Amino acid sequence: MATASLRIDLDAILSNWRALDALTDTATELGAVVKADSYGLGAARVARMLARAGCRTFFVACAEEGAAVRQALGEGPRIFIFAGHCAGDTEMIGDLGLTPVLNSPEQMTRHFEALPRHDFGIQLDTGMNRLGFEAEDWATAAPALLQAGPKLIMSHLYCADDPAHPANAAQLAEFRRMTEGMNVPRSLAATGGIVLGKDYHFDITRPGMGMYGGMPFADATPVVTLSLPVIQVRDVRPGETVGYSAAWTAERPSRVATLAAGYADGISRRLGNLAQVWFGDTPCPVIGRISMDLITVDITDLDETPKELDLLNHRQGVDALADLIGTIGYEILTSLGHRYARQYCGGNP
């Protein structure tokens, strides 16, 4: 088979969710972020597993994602939409019982006119300048919004991956100032905020990347293994080159394996001549350019010809791969392509 295999350990996701719960204040509800199809790992399966384990609050990016999660979960669990009540979303939000997190006076007007008795949340901008009511708009809108009974008031930390950054304390203070005395559940912390400590936890936390095995949760259990099949092996003489642009030249008699994956599968071209793949505990260097569908690897030092090699495993997680090319594990994980044969293990709480 020439299809790479992406193995997803649902037990590891559940273990990470529970480990983050253990870090969370006992009075705080632990939700789960399942946006972007659970960061590319399959929102339906992940959400169902977490619901069986007791999770009752889920967060997605947009109404369409909320519809898919509602179909997987059925009635009951709350599904908040970070993007809010956007134009064209009314029927979906109303019919499926989704909860938009209103971000602006325009969304407030749209929601109150279209679904006047429907649940909603509120997002406040505490310094990120991305989504949410700014302080001036919030001061004007707060009386009407609070009278209508929001289910949640939230904001989003923008430097939580750097615990020493002064923006964290500044946002915490601003969030408290903007919500002081309001009898509404509050949420400020995603994974990074959970790790920052209980001052940031409030009533509901929103773990995402840490649940899927990545930073900023340093103690996360690895979740994914990406195995790339070997479809051809050849001998290369010293002085011969491999791949586009002759980007690698053999300095010794070499054995080169060609693997069935490439940048069409979300493997960045920047990893060429830089990354390693693994055969058990033995690393093998990626050589030459990453092609659309193929990767070449030097396997000269292996004692046998492998059938597959791992790009992601317990030896090399998404953050280690991201560090090689100056990006973040989030991008590596969410870029994993649709051509992979996804295989799931575990998932029974």
Span 19-65, pLDDT tens digits: 999 999 889 999 999 999 999 999 999 999 999 999 999 999 999 99
Tell me whether residue 244 is one of the annotated catalytic residues: yes
CATH of the domain at 14: 3.20.20.10
In a domain, 5, yes or no: no
Q: How many other C-beta atoms are found inside a 10 Å radius of the C-beta of residue 341?
A: 11
Mean pLDDT of all residues in 223-234: 98
> Cα Rg for the chain, rounded, in angstroms?
23
User: What pTM does this model have?
Assistant: 0.95
Mean pLDDT of all residues in 64-84: 98
The percentage of the chain sitting over the pLDDT mark of 70, rounded to a whole number, equals: 99
DSSP assignment of 95-108: HHT-EEEE-SHHHH
Q: Show which of 184, 212, 240 is a domain's final residue.
A: 212
Tell me whether residue 263 is one of the annotated catalytic residues: no
Confidence of residue 230 (pLDDT cuts 50, 70, 90): very high
In a shared domain, residues 191 and 70: yes
Note the pLDDT tens digit of each residue in 110-167. Answer: 999 999 999 999 999 999 999 999 999 999 999 999 999 999 999 999 999 999 999 9
In a shared domain, residues 153 and 265: no
In a domain, 337, yes or no: yes
Which pLDDT belongs to residue 3? 87
In a domain, 2, yes or no: no
- Helix 63-73 vs helix 43-52: crossing angle, to nearest 10: 50
Please calculate the CA angle 225-231-236 and round it to the nearest 5 degrees: 110
Mean pLDDT of all residues in 103-111: 98
Cα–Cα distance for residue pair 163/192, rounded to 1 Å: 8
Among candidate residues 39, 200, 212, 244, the one labeled active-site is: 244
Q: Taking 70 as the threshold, does the pLDDT of residue 102 lie above it?
A: yes
* Structure token digits, residue 56: 């009752």
Among candidate residues 35, 200, 212, 330, the one labeled active-site is: 35
In a domain, 1, yes or no: no
Note the pLDDT tens digit of each residue in 5-19. Answer: 999 999 999 999 999
In a shared domain, residues 249 and 167: no
Q: How many domains does the chain have?
A: 2
Which pLDDT belongs to residue 25? 87
In a shared domain, residues 261 and 202: no
Average pLDDT, the chain: 97
What DSSP designation does 290 have?
A: -
Q: Taking 80 as the threshold, does the pLDDT of residue 2 lie above it?
A: no
In a shared domain, residues 315 and 177: no
In a shared domain, residues 48 and 130: yes
In a domain, 3, yes or no: no
In a shared domain, residues 231 and 197: no
Q: Taking 60 as the threshold, does the pLDDT of residue 1 lie above it?
A: no
Mean pLDDT of all residues in 278-284: 97
Note the pLDDT tens digit of each residue in 178-203. Answer: 999 999 999 999 999 999 999 999 99
In a shared domain, residues 272 and 190: no
In a shared domain, residues 189 and 95: yes
Q: Show which of 179, 212, 245 is a domain's final residue.
A: 212
In a shared domain, residues 22 and 158: yes
In a shared domain, residues 228 and 208: no
The percentage of the chain sitting over the pLDDT mark of 90, rounded to a whole number, equals: 97
CATH of the domain at 301: 2.40.37.10
**Residue range(s) defining the domain that contains residue 295:** 224-345
In a domain, 217, yes or no: no
Which pLDDT belongs to residue 306? 97
In a domain, 218, yes or no: no
Q: Show which of 154, 183, 212 is a domain's final residue.
A: 212
In a shared domain, residues 99 and 208: yes
